[in-house]
Chain A
Amino acid sequence: MRDPVFIEFFDDVERSIPRAECAALVDWLNTAPIETLRMRQNAAEQAFRQLGITFAVYGDEDARERIIPFDIIPRLFSAAEWARLEQGLDQRVRAINAFLNDIYGEQRIIKAGIIPHDLVFSNPQYRSELVGMRPPHDIWAHIAGIDMVRTGADGFSVLEDNVRTPSGVSYMLENREAMIRLCPELFRQMRVATVDGYPDLLHAMMRISAPPAARDNPVCVILTPGQYNSAYYEHSFLADSIGIELVEAADLLVEDDKVWMRSITGLVQVDVIYRRIDDDYLDPEVFRPDSMLGVPGLMRAFRAGNVTLVNAPGTGIADDKAIYSYMPEIVSFYSGSEALLPIVQTWRCREPDACQYVLDHIEDLVVKLVDGSGGYGMLIGPLATKAECAQFRAAIRAQPEKYIAQPTLALSAVPTLTDAGIAPRHVDFRPFVLSSPDGVAMVPGGLTRVALKQGSLVVNSSQGGGTKDTFVLMRDEGIA
């Protein structure tokens, strides 16, 4: 028996009693004519198209450039809810960095028997090349996108950690721009915390994360695979907002274990690289030799301590879905206290009992590939056909260690503008958490993704999901 879906904004399933912090928003929703909302939504999408805020879907030739649908109705967190999330995220991201330092260093957590030895060492995301390596300031995951779901008024849990090259932050910023322009009255009716400090925060993080030997004014760049990458808009948007160069591999070269970029006046040394290229492609000397996207010698420069890579290579082990299931233990091991953010109950098919349970109950579960992403390689039991279930059962039996399973969650839903009027749609939430020698920082907000199809739980943009602005209230006082 599944739990009833929590409809955000409301205290009851009939959607008649707004929650205190959402009263103004619900009032706005009840009084704004639906045609007006539609008109504004179209205007926003028009503007996104004009700005070229597009993304590409791999394997979709016709729609090389699509915009992600934008929903004009924001979702909202109270100041108290945000404060709780912030605390939990801070704790979790510190633990992730401690974990990465440990497994590429002393490996205390393995020696303590908390995480099985082979789960780490035979994991393709574990980069043995990096053992003994210490990145500048011992920070590996400078930028983390933590995917959260809500199942009740107080029920927030982490669905997934993204600590390789999480994307989507440009949508957080552009969605807010659109909301301010199109629905200015909302910002008069409530005090919404601003998110536009993100680029400054990101830049400050990069500068202070420069190698200790770097000059006073470190040169920071963003490294993109190029304009045909699905997230290219975001790469250029961020470089633009910060005022730093957006470079491609061909713009960089390594000499004397230092990284340089080719400029119209000659070579300029680079100290910090926010790279939006996967580990595998980063340096053909060390990883995939056929990579055209990478910079030969980059890892030499990194090892020599001459450049900071944001994020460091090798972080993928920390967001592996099998490791995920140990996150509560990981957090308490390094922080010494209970994890503030729970995870979703997870069966690891590598364990025979759990595997049997998954095989027996696959119709009720969500099954995921441990190294899958973007909603690919996933089975949603309750929505799957018998044939699909059988296919996954066979795959799990063949390679149990590659799968985990989770209960089908009753993801919260938020009123959304649909063709048939305003109706609840399932959402998730990805805040972006920055780590530097100065500590952990984040802006109050994040990316809310919404599954636009009725009943759908898949919010990924590659699978027809959209986005919403996320309001975090500055203060809760005055709210009855």
Chain B
Amino acid sequence: MMLSRTAASLYWLGRYAERADFSARLIEATVRLDALSTRPAGSAAWASALNVIDAGEAFAALGKHVEQRHVAPFLLCSPDHPGSIWRCLEAARTNARAVRMALSRESWSAINNAWLRVSTGGVPKDGAGLLALLEGVHSSALSLTGAIERMLKHPSSMFMRLGGAIERVDNTARLLDVKYHILLPEEEVVGGVLDRDQWTTILQTVSAVNAYRFLYSGGLNARNVIEFLVLRPELPRSLIAGAQEALEQLQHIAEVTHNFSAADSLAMTRLAVLRRLKVDAIIGEGLHEYLEDFIEQNAALDQAISTQFRFF
């Protein structure tokens, strides 16, 4: 027996926690790109970071210059930006509070700690302070994942993981789409020589620099990175891995509820299609079009989940 409201809160808790973690990685990778690489990328790096999480307009409304000292605090702790890490953590915590009893103490502590860290930390004074704070958000996210995995095999952990999986593929798809646009000068064709630092940034954002090197020996190139991020099940943040995780969680829930409905079939079809897909086909049809489609499908699955479990 699980209340629909509880399931909805857990699902959104999973989504918001994942989103906060993703934003933290994105800021971290952009700081590196902006400041630590041999050729500082400057405002272009921050502009693309804003686009990845669809916050370009909201930031522009502030009338501030696109640079780290304005964008990073905006993405990190702006109370006005609904996608800021602080707002995500607050939303995650609000959902967690609403279902305290469905959570283990460890899971609650992980979310509450992350929220406290960002709430009490204030705007970091310098790059080092920023990275330290992001590191903190990161480790809280890790302890949440760990805590969820240790929870009772119960629909509460399944709904959180389901929300996490739906959010994760959305983030990866957006990251790839935006970065790809920026990376690909108009006259250049797919597969050309691309900016090494930019690609590294993408891989850093999904914590997969070393994993990429391990799986691909030929160095960085667009085709491999696309295949890696879309089709390699070994990478937890790839689209296919997320699709698989979403389906698995739905199946676990179905074992408990003995219900099988629209969301299950959508998730199953999506995975089957991904399994047959080849990277050249994606590039041939156009990566941007493919990713747009994927993001739409993912939204449709999200809707189907809400309906199936009577979230409202």
- Where the two chains meet, the residues of A that have a C-beta atom closer than 8 Å to any C-beta of B are 49-52, 219, 226-227, 232-233, 236-237, 239-240, 245-248, 250-251, 261-265, 268
Contact = CB atoms under 8 A, between A and B. Distances in A.
Interface stretch (B3-11, B57-65, B190-198): B3-11
B105 A262 contact: no
From B1, B3, B7, name the one whose CB has the most chain A CB atoms within 10 angstroms: B3
Contacts of A245: 1, 3, 6, 101
Interface in B1-33: 1-7
Contact of A51 (B5, B109, B309): B109
Contact of B108 (A51, A251, A262, A264): A51
Contacts of A50: 109, 112-113
B101 A236 contact: yes
Contacts of A264: 2-4, 7, 155, 253, 257, 259, 309-310
B98 interface: yes
A240 B98 CA distance: 12
Interface in B36-75: none
Nearest to A239: B101
A52 B112 contact: yes
Contact of B2 (A236, A250, A263): A263
Contacts of B98: 226-227
B3 A262 contact: yes
Contacts of B155: 264
B298 to A, nearest CB: 21
B4 A263 contact: yes
Nearest to B103: A240
Contacts of B113: 50
Contacts of A263: 1-4
B94 interface: yes
Contacts of A246: 100-101
Nearest to B159: A264
Contact of A227 (B94, B109, B259): B94
A52 B3 contact: no
From A52, A227, A240, A248, name the one whose CB has the most chain B CB atoms within 10 angstroms: A52
Interface string B83-99: 00000000000100110
Nearest to B4: A262
B101 A261 contact: no
A145 B101 CA distance: 24
Q: Interface of chain B, helix or strand or loop or mixed? A: helix
B181 to A, nearest CB: 39
A251 B5 contact: yes
A226 B5 CA distance: 12
Interface of B: 1-7, 94, 97-98, 100-101, 105, 108-109, 112-113, 116, 155, 253, 257-259, 309-310
Nearest to B95: A227
B5 A262 contact: yes
A251 B5 CA distance: 7
B147 to A, nearest CB: 13
B222 to A, nearest CB: 43
Contacts of B7: 264
Contacts of B112: 50, 52
Contacts of B4: 251, 262-264
A268 B1 CA distance: 8
From A236, A250, A261, name the one whose CB has the most chain B CB atoms within 10 angstroms: A236
Contact of B310 (A52, A239, A262, A268): A262
Contacts of A236: 97, 100-101
Report the 8 A-B pairs with minimum CB-CB distance, sorted nearest first.
A240-B101, A236-B100, A264-B309, A227-B97, A239-B101, A265-B257, A262-B4, A264-B7
A257 B240 CA distance: 49
B271 to A, nearest CB: 22
Nearest to A233: B100
A240 B154 CA distance: 14
A293 to B, nearest CB: 14
B5 A248 contact: yes
A226 B94 CA distance: 11
A475 to B, nearest CB: 33
Contacts of B97: 52, 227, 232, 236
A248 B98 CA distance: 10
A467 to B, nearest CB: 20
A246 B9 CA distance: 13
A261 B3 CA distance: 7
Contacts of B310: 262, 264
24 contacts: A49-B116, A50-B112, A51-B108, A52-B100, A227-B97, A227-B98, A236-B101, A237-B100, A240-B100, A245-B1, A245-B3, A245-B6, A246-B101, A247-B3, A251-B3, A251-B5, A262-B5, A262-B310, A263-B3, A263-B4, A264-B2, A264-B257, A264-B310, A268-B1
